[in-house]
Amino acid sequence: MTVSSASGPGPVTITANGHAASPASAQGLPFDAGCSACPRLAGFLAQQRGALPAYYNAPVPAFGAADARLLVVGLAPGLHGANRTGRPFTGDHAGILLYQTLFDQGFASAPVSEHAADTLRLIGARISNAVRCVPPENKPEPAEVRRCNAYLAHDLAAHPADGVVIALGTIAHQAVLDALGLRRSAYSFGHGAHHALPDGRLLIDSYHCSRYNTSTRRLTPEMFAAVFAAARALLDTRRDTGAA
Ligand code: SF4
């Protein structure tokens, strides 16, 4: 387990237009289902509305209570997953391991997320993404990640100071740092790494639970379970001790 800690500048918000925001808007931007600030992604969504009219085909909101103590940050909606159902990690392969693992650790009411209208509830957990719109080939461009960072900043502004963030993959890890105004160079991504953030929160890294990573065994269910078990233990300890 790697533990790192570093101080960084105060929070900096990047607006949906990709510009630094004033301190007055450091809370980021609330989710906007009509956002079309990324021309490439807005165009791709417009294509999908024609090709796949039964799909959700819009920016996907975070799932779970805004003040949940565990915040899981993924990459972006999958074309046939979240972009189809409108709920993060729901409807394609990547969500199978995630929801099973959340359930095993008491963060979800059921082990399978079937669709956005099912009865599944997250328990003290929230799932968000670095990018809210489905990117072609699951690959958002850096400018798109930067633009969408204002929405992630909003999620992080509501996240409690004694909370834990799990970043799924390097892009999510960097997006969390950017949203908090922290230097990327001070916190290196590594599967299972724990990063103590200046505001008291803890950032834990994991390889993304993508089909590629799980089928190649880069990420095994045991490795993933260990990440969430650590988060569970830390959250329980922090609650018991009142640590922030
Ligand atoms: S990816 Fe984010 S910033 Fe870009 S259009 Fe979608 S919601 Fe807006």
What is the rounded CA–CA span in Å between residue 189 and residue 166? Answer: 11
| CA-nearest residue, atom 2 of ligand 1 | 148
Out of 36, 38, 60, 152, mutate this one to test ligand 1's pocket (max ligand atoms within 8 Å of CB): namely 38
**191 CA → ligand 1 middle, Å:** 27
The DSSP code sequence of the chain is --EEE---PSP-PBPTTS-BPPGGGTT-----TT----HHHHHHHHHHHHH-TTS--SPPPPEE-TT-SEEEEES---TTTHHHHSSTT-SSHHHHHHHHHHHHTTSBSSS----TTSS--BSSEEEEES-SSPPGGG---HHHHHHHHHHHHHHHHHS-TT-EEEEESHHHHHHHHHHTT--GGGS---TT-EEE-TTS-EEEEE----HHHHHTTSS-HHHHHHHHHHHHHHHHHHHHHT--
What pTM does this model have?
A: 0.89
| CA-nearest residue, atom 4 of ligand 1 | 38
**145 CA → ligand 1 middle, Å:** 8
Domains within the chain, CATH numbers bracketed: 59-241 (3.40.470.10)
Ligand 1: list residues with CB < 6 Å. 16, 35-38, 41-42, 59, 131-133, 144, 147-148
pLDDT attached to residue 242: 62
**152 CA → ligand 1 middle, Å:** 11
pLDDT attached to residue 26: 60
pLDDT attached to residue 243: 54
Q: Over its length of 244 residues, how does the chain's per-residue pLDDT go in tens digits? A: 333 433 322 333 333 333 333 333 468 899 999 999 999 999 999 999 999 999 999 999 999 999 999 999 999 999 999 999 999 999 999 999 999 999 999 999 999 999 999 999 999 999 999 999 999 999 999 999 999 999 999 999 999 999 999 999 999 999 999 999 999 999 999 999 999 999 999 999 999 999 999 999 999 999 999 999 999 999 999 877 765 4
What is the rounded CA–CA span in Å between residue 85 and residue 150? Answer: 23
**34 CA → ligand 1 middle, Å:** 9
pLDDT attached to residue 27: 82
